[in-house]
Amino acid sequence: MKNILIIIMSILLTVLFGENGSDKSNIYAGVQRCKVCHETDEMGNQYAVWKLSQHANAYKTLLTEESAQIAKSWGLSLPAQESPKCLKCHVTGYNNSKAEFGKKFNKEDGVQCESCHGPGETYRKENIMCDLDLASANGLIMPKPEDCLTCHNEESPRYKAFSYESYYEKMKHKKNPDYNCFSDEEEDEDW
Ligand code: HEC
Ligand code: HEC
Ligand code: HEC
Ligand code: HEC
């Protein structure tokens, strides 16, 4: 009887919180976590492309004189870099509680991977990442053009007409088509 109860409890816990007994799927791990794997040439170095994009500077923009002027003209009570009215589009996960950020998360990284691909604490593990279905089940988002419009819209004080094609062209980062997730294991077998 006791055993059956334990089994039922553990099934319930797994259903509610996932394998580890706690749900981490809402936690923003931070771009440093993605960088570990996504900055190698072997994988296509998406990190380097992002780092050179304006998204990487989105928070730093709020520290400029230009932003101070905008904050003033909007009559904000807080400086731009502290105001939710600016942070909502210039950092990742601005509205989340402290518990929803991993140790490596840094808001100064601006609009980083997880702004578009979803909080990554759960899906960033290699065995999950190699399987797109499993990664999606763990929160990975492959953004659609309309997802850009949550920030690229007229609420922005510097809004410019948004065309997905030309904007995507400026920030696109690609996989290396020759990269094979499982090649390491195959090599080990040949050894
Ligand atoms: C342990 C290494 C590792 C880490 C850490 C990691 N990834 Fe990945 N990721 C991979 C691998 C391997 C692939 C599959 C690459 C391929 O097939 O070219 C992948 C694929 C992806 C894809 C493409 C999905 C698809 O199948 O089309 C996205 C998007 C992605 N990762 C985002 C992230 C983000 C965001 C983070 C940080 C939160 C992250 N990854 C952290 C290894 C990693
Ligand atoms: C979380 C908010 C957010 C999302 C989502 C977002 N962006 Fe942005 N984007 C920004 C901000 C903020 C800037 C301006 C950064 C700066 O210069 O400080 C920007 C700037 C850009 C720029 C540079 C614009 C220029 O004038 O050269 C491009 C290109 C761009 N975004 C493309 C995209 C595309 C494509 C998508 C969807 C796949 C997207 N963005 C989704 C917030 C976002
Ligand atoms: C609805 C989302 C959104 C909000 C809210 C928002 N921004 Fe932005 N901001 C953007 C986007 C997107 C861009 C890039 C526009 C483009 O190039 O098409 C941008 C661009 C800028 C730029 C120009 C950056 C550059 O590289 O030239 C400045 C400065 C700026 N924002 C400051 C602010 C300040 C200050 C606030 C708060 C008062 C704010 N933004 C609120 C989305 C937003
Ligand atoms: C502004 C939004 C945005 C940001 C920031 C962003 N991505 Fe992406 N990412 C996209 C879009 C859009 C696609 C293309 C989705 C598609 O093709 O369906 C994509 C595709 C990818 C792919 C698959 C590429 C392929 O060839 O299929 C990988 C891997 C990836 N992103 C990793 C990252 C990593 C790692 C970071 C941070 C260093 C990052 N992304 C930052 C929007 C973003």
Q: Where are the domains of the chain?
A: 17-179
Distance CA 57, CA 111 (A): 8
Please answer whether residues 120 and 34 qualify as being in contact, where contact means their C-beta atoms are separated by less than 8 angstroms: yes
Atom in ligand 3 nearest the alpha carbon of residue 153 = 1
144 lines ligand 2 (CB under 6 A): no
- Ligand 2 atom with least separation from CA of 55: 15
> Which ligand has its closest atom nearest to the C-alpha of 155?
3
Could you tell me which CATH class the domain 17-179 is placed in?
Answer: mainly alpha
Sort 146 into a burial class: Cβ within 10 Å, 0-12 / 13-18 / 19+: exposed
pTM of the model: 0.92
Say yes or no to pLDDT of 5 above 90. no
Return the pLDDT at 167. Answer: 98
- 10-43 pLDDT tens trace: 555 555 554 444 788 899 999 999 999 999 999 9
* pLDDT over 50 (residue 141): yes
Note whether 130 and 181 are within 8 A (CB): yes
Closest ligand to residue 25's CA: 1
CA distances from 112 to 106, 134, 136 (A): 10, 22, 18
